[in-house]
Amino acid sequence: MADYYLYTPGPTSVPEKVRKRMAEQVIYHRGDEFKKLFTRINKNLQYIFQTSQPVLTLVSSGTGGMEATFVNLFSPDDTIISVNNGKFSARWVEMPRALGLKVIDLRLDWGEAPTAAQVLRLLRKHPQAKAVYLVHCETSTGTVTDVRSLAKVIRNNSSALVCVDGVSSIGALEFRFDDWGIDVCVTASQKGLMLPPGLAFVALSRRAIRKFSSSSLPKYYFDFKKILNSYRSEQTPWTPAISLLMGLDESLKMIHSEGLEKIWKRHKILADSLRSGIKKLGLEILSKNPSNSVTAVLLPRHIKSLEFHNHIQNKYGCIFGKGQGHYASELFRIGHIGNVQESDVQRIITAIKKTLNELK
Ligand code: PMP
């Protein structure tokens, strides 16, 4: 039993069952047992993305999964539109630029979510855009983007691929890859999937898969053609992170047995309860469109960030995320994603209340 509670917006708490499974003896990745494990995992991954399309598993964190999407779908000088409303979405402006793409940066204030009109205006202005990148939950500000409506607008008005960073949303917020017409969605192991960091997952539509053949950016380890070929014979081209996959098998079973819709509902109920508790303490939530997986809270001006985090961790065992970017010293961020219950929300509110009183 850890002597702290991990309420960071990633990594998130790993359930005991999952930890135990990862501690088992490793298995051989070219044997039958692995094939059965991989097949079961792949089926359950399709369930959490709500897709009948392939979901590729990469040995990397979420950022590697995102890089893999750029290098496998596009060619130098291709134009993409990237919605930029926080630290992670800013990375999806910087990274494709570094890779040689032309990026139209739809820059918004932190805490704001893009509107259909803003995206549509850029699509009309840049009809050559090959994709629109959206971050479902911007973890630096706790802001949710209405991916479903935006995907519809993008599909109805262009041939651009709809690409989603679902790192802090998949397995926590409602998401339906097939029904919503999403082309690419990336997530990582250390959030809604309740695992340690180390794996990225990429769901790909038929349209996205067709782009592999025209993409000329260099790739090798993350070459989706190779990875998809192996996937089709229940294999991985390289040595997989076997122990993490064993843990994933366990966490996906847990998700399956609770049921995705119940999990989405649990996250909503807990987020509502957390937000109302925070507001009752007189604190302000940054986001205008708050996410049910992470909440960014403005610290009262008289309290220093370092002092707050040290106190709440040392006295109450609660570890929160720190502010990022220009909000580094002004915010604290609470992860309520994955392995969380009402008792966690109560513990969080009580710890914040006492800490604020004690630091007066
Ligand atoms: N996108 C979002 C929305 C994230 O929250 C994170 C991680 N916090 C990332 C991307 C980057 O993922 P990783 O740290 O796993 O590379």
| DSSP codes joined into one string, 326-346 | GGTTTEEEEE--SS--HHHHH
Q: Is the pTM of this model over 0.85?
A: yes
- Please report the atom of ligand 1 found closest to the CA of residue 136: 3
Tens-level pLDDT at each residue, the chain (360 residues): 578 999 999 999 999 999 999 999 999 999 999 999 999 999 999 999 999 999 999 999 999 999 999 999 999 999 999 999 999 999 999 999 999 999 999 999 999 999 999 999 999 999 999 999 999 999 999 999 999 999 999 999 999 999 999 999 999 999 999 999 999 999 999 999 999 999 999 999 999 999 999 999 999 999 999 999 999 999 999 999 999 999 999 999 999 999 999 999 999 999 999 999 999 999 999 999 999 999 999 999 999 999 999 999 999 999 999 999 999 999 999 999 999 999 999 999 999 999 999 998
Nearest CA to ligand 1 atom 12: 62
Choosing from 83, 139, 195, 201 the residue with most ligand 1 atoms within 8 A of its CB, the one to mutate for a pocket test is 139
**Residues 6 or more apart in contact with residue 94 via CB below 8 angstroms:** none
CB 168 near ligand 1, within 6 Å: yes
**What pLDDT shows up at residue 315?**
97
Q: How far is CA 65 from the centre of its chain?
A: 11
Query: What pLDDT score does 79 carry?
Result: 98
Q: Is 135 in the pocket of ligand 1 (CB under 6 A)?
A: yes
Cα–Cα nearest to 181, from 219, 199, 207: 207
Please work out whether the CB of residue 337 comes within 6 Å of at least one atom of ligand 1.
no
pLDDT of 3 reads: 86
- The predicted pLDDT at position 1 comes to 54
Residue 280: enclosing H or E segment and its boundaries?
A: helix 260-280
Name the pairing type of β-strands 294-298 and 284-285. Answer: antiparallel
Residue 336 near residue 294, CB atoms below 8 Å: yes
Please list, in sequence order, all residues whose beta carbon lies within 8 angstroms of the beta carbon of residue 127, skipping any fewer than 6 positions away. Answer: 158
Q: Which amino acid is at 295?
A: T
Phi, psi for 324 (deg, rounded to 5) = -125, 160
Residue labelled with tokens 């109450």 = 316
Asked if 297 contacts 9 with a C-beta cutoff of 8 angstroms, the reply is no
> DSSP secondary-structure letter at 25?
P
User: How many whole angstroms from 118 Cα to the centroid of ligand 1?
Assistant: 24
Ligand 1 atom with the shortest distance to the CA of 197? 15
pLDDT of res. 327: 92
Tell me the average pLDDT of the chain: 97
Contact 187, 200 (CB under 8 A): yes
pLDDT, position 2: 72
177: its two tokens: 């890859």
C-alpha distances (whole Å) from 253 to each of 106, 191, 193, 257 are 39, 16, 11, 6
- Which two structure tokens, joined as six digits, stand for 314? 């040392």
